[in-house]
Copies of this chain bind each other. A is one copy, B any other.
């Protein structure tokens, strides 16, 4: 089994670099951007406009080498990477539930966007609270997280952040 990905579009946002970018849609309230879907995939967007929120799955192309233990933005302690949402993971697939403002042909206008500008888009799924919104009493270290809601450059590729 050799899974092969092909980007289906590009995410445009005001976030040009990791440093200063909100780390979750919840903390990016009101930040608007555009999702540009490649024309060949536009027929797949039919009826998407009816949904208030959508899941974006994207490739964190500026994440550095995968790490198995990280100090996430949101905490000051180290955790296994799968217990965090840090981008430097074995398969750096990002997941964000953004607000869908409008569908204009193959262009989506979205809000609550926490994604870096130019990020390759992999998939779009409708957000359906009945299917996606679960209550949970135990949320591990998040219950006492003391870190930031804003990213810095700790997970950015060294080659990109340090060069020039």
Q: Which residues of A contact B (CB under 8 A)?
A: 1, 3-8, 24-26, 41, 43-55, 57, 59, 61, 68-69, 79-85, 89-91, 93, 95, 97, 120, 122-142
Contacts and interface: CB of A to CB of B under 8 A. Distances in A.
A90 B129 contact: no
A84 B122 CA distance: 15
A140 B91 contact: no
Nearest to A24: B131
Contacts of A137: 52
A52 B138 contact: yes
Copies in the complex: 2
Given A5-B5, A132-B134, 18 more contacts: A3-B61, A8-B90, A8-B91, A24-B131, A44-B82, A44-B83, A45-B80, A47-B141, A51-B136, A52-B136, A57-B91, A84-B126, A89-B123, A93-B123, A95-B95, A128-B136, A129-B134, A129-B139
Contact of A142 (B26, B128, B135, B138): B128
B47 A79 contact: yes
Q: Could you tell me the dominant secondary structure of chain A's interface residues?
A: mixed
A4 B59 CA distance: 10
A84 to B, nearest CB: 7
A136 B127 CA distance: 8
Given A44-B69, A90-B6, A91-B8, A83 B126 contact: yes
